[in-house]
Amino acid sequence: MIIAVDFDGTIVEHRYPGIGRELPFAIETLKKLRSEHHKLILWSVREGRLLEEAVSFCRERGLEFYAVNRDYPEEAEGHNNHYSRKLKADLFIDDRNLGGLPDWGTIYEMVHNRLTYEMLSERGQHEEEPPRPKGFFKSLFKK
């Protein structure tokens, strides 16, 4: 899938124009999704130096994006008569989602298992999930 990911309030705490602390498991979850062959696009209101800071923040933590604020890396305004800031993504992860941002464990589960909110909700109503062992995220991100 092509997944567009917001930065402020989604990967890090909202401190725009500064950079807040990383939200728990955000970078590790995104790296895991990338390793599963999803294309990640950083989709942010940030531009110029502020955008470079966000990209550097992620890169320093080992997270590289397929593209930044565009559909593919080579896309450039003026060189593509179809250029638009509206991305052609399969999924958007943003703290401004209706209902807010789920925790990154839930996000991973939804993407990995291709679950919608409705499916996740129905599953919770009709099935009792076995308790997860301690260290759930550690088991996901073994090196």
Helices 117-126/104-112 angle, 10° precision: 100
Answer yes or no: is pLDDT of 25 > 90: yes
pLDDT value of position 98: 77
Answer yes or no: is pLDDT of 44 > 60: yes
pLDDT value of position 67: 94
Across the chain, mean pLDDT equals: 85
How confident is the model over 18-47, as a mean pLDDT?
96
Enumerate the β-bridge partners of residue 116.
Answer: none
Enumerate the β-bridge partners of residue 67.
Answer: 41
pLDDT value of position 76: 62
User: Where do we find the tokens 């995220």?
Assistant: 137
**How many percent of the chain have pLDDT more than 70?**
78
Which is nearest to 87 in space by CA: 40, 120, 47, 46?
40
pLDDT band at 32 (very low <50, low <70, confident <90, very high): very high
How confident is the model over 52-69, as a mean pLDDT?
97
Answer yes or no: is pLDDT of 125 > 70: no
How confident is the model over 89-116, as a mean pLDDT?
91
| Assigned CATH topology for domain 2-140 | Rossmann fold (3.40.50)
Report the SS3 class of residue 39: strand
Query: Residue 28 CA to chain centroid, in angstroms?
Result: 10
Contact between 100 and 73 under an 8 Å Cβ cutoff? The reply is no
Query: Residue 20 CA to chain centroid, in angstroms?
Result: 16
